[in-house]
Chain A
C-alpha cells in the first residue's frame, strides 16, 4: 500500500503555475481516493436525484400559467383577487376581470384581451417587492358592471397616454366594447 505522501514529493517537480499545481494536486488526490465503483455509485445517485428533482417544491414556480412570468413566488400569500384593495390592482380604473368570470390575469370567456395596455408598478406587501403590472382591457362584450375598482396609483393625465388608465385600451380591437380589466404581472422592478 502506497502512502499518500509518496505523491507529494512529485509536486515539487510540477510547473510553477499556481493553476497547474492546483489541478495536478486535485487530480492526483481524486485518483488516490476514488475507485470505479465509487464513480458508479455516484452516477446512480445522480440519476435518482435528477429524477426526484421535479418532486421538489421549487419546480412549482414553473407551472405558473403562461403570460404570468413575473408572478410572485407561490409560497407568498396571494390575497383576495375579488377585492379592490388586492395589491396588484393598485392602478386599476374599471371592473375587475376576476369578478366577471375571468381571473386576475385572464379575461372572462367571450372577451378578447387588448394587446396594448398601460403599464405601472405595484408593491406586494407580502414580499415587499415592486412588480411591473400590465393593465389590459378585456373587450368585445358589454360592460361587466361588477366589482368596480378605482385606484389610481401612478395614473397620469391622458396627455401621457402610456401612463393613463382613463383611456379605453380596447381601441383598435375587433370588439371595441369595454368589459373589464386584468392585471398581468410581467416582471419585477429592481429597486
Chain B
C-alpha cells in the first residue's frame, strides 16, 4: 500500500511538468532569444545583456520591480503565468550566481500587478539603477 502511495506521489511530482503547454526554455526561445540570443549575450549595443548581469538588478532597490516593468516583459504576448515562469527561469539561468543566492522567485500575482505599471522613462530608470549597482559593487569590493 505504501509502495502504491509512493508511486502516486512520484507521479504527481512529474505530471505537472508534462501538462504545461510549453516549458520556460522553449518560451524563451520563441519570445526572447531572437534579440537577447541563446546565451543571453545580447546581439547589439542597444540590446541589454542578460548573461551574468540580469540578476544584479535584484540587489538594488527598485530593481526587482524594474525587471517586470521593462517593455520586453511588461508588453510580452505571454500570459502572466508564462511570463512569471520565463522570468524566474531566466534569472536562475543567466545569473550571476551570487545574485540569485537569496532570490525569492516572482509570484504570478506580483508579475500581474507590476506589468500593468510600465515605465515611462525607461532609459533614465535604467541609468539610475546601473549607477546604484556600480556603487554597491564598489562598496563590496573597494579598490
Contacts of A117 in B (CB 8 A): 34
Q: Let me know if B30 and A190 touch, CB within 8 A.
A: no
Separation of A189 and B33 alpha carbons in the complex (Å): 14
Q: Let me know if B29 and A119 touch, CB within 8 A.
A: yes
Binds A, one of B36-44, B62-70, B121-129: B36-44
A/B interface sample: 28 pairs, CB < 8 A: A114-B43, A115-B37, A116-B37, A116-B43, A116-B47, A117-B34, A119-B29, A119-B30, A119-B33, A120-B30, A132-B26, A132-B30, A134-B33, A134-B34, A160-B77, A162-B34, A162-B35, A163-B77, A171-B44, A172-B43, A172-B44, A172-B45, A172-B46, A186-B33, A186-B38, A189-B26, A190-B23, A190-B26
Contacts of A115 in B (CB 8 A): 37, 43-44
Q: Does B117 contact A (CB under 8 A)?
A: no
Separation of A120 and B44 alpha carbons in the complex (Å): 21
- The size of the chain B interface, using a CB distance under 8 A, is 19
Separation of A115 and B45 alpha carbons in the complex (Å): 12
Q: Does B31 contact A (CB under 8 A)?
A: yes
Within 8 A of B (CB), among A152-191: 160, 162-163, 171-172, 186-187, 189-190
- The size of the chain A interface, using a CB distance under 8 A, is 19
Q: Does B22 contact A (CB under 8 A)?
A: yes
Chain A residues with a Cβ under 8 A of chain B: 114-121, 132, 134, 160, 162-163, 171-172, 186-187, 189-190
Contacts of B21 in A (CB 8 A): 190
Q: How far is the CB of B5 from chain A (nearest CB, A)?
A: 16
Known: A117-B34, A118-B34. A187 touches B43 (CB 8 A): no
Chain B residues with a Cβ under 8 A of chain A: 21-23, 26, 29-35, 37-38, 43-47, 77
Between B37, B38, B47, the greatest number of chain A beta carbons within 10 A of the residue's beta carbon is seen for: B38
Which A-B residue pairs are the 3 nearest by beta carbons? Answer: A116-B43, A172-B44, A115-B43
Q: Let me know if A189 and B37 touch, CB within 8 A.
A: no
Separation of A119 and B43 alpha carbons in the complex (Å): 14
Q: How far is the CB of B81 from chain A (nearest CB, A)?
A: 16
Q: How far is the CB of B44 from chain A (nearest CB, A)?
A: 4
Q: Let me know if B26 and A116 touch, CB within 8 A.
A: no
Q: How far is the CB of A117 from chain B (nearest CB, A)?
A: 5
Separation of A25 and B31 alpha carbons in the complex (Å): 55
Closest to A191 in B: B21
Contacts of B44 in A (CB 8 A): 115-116, 171-172
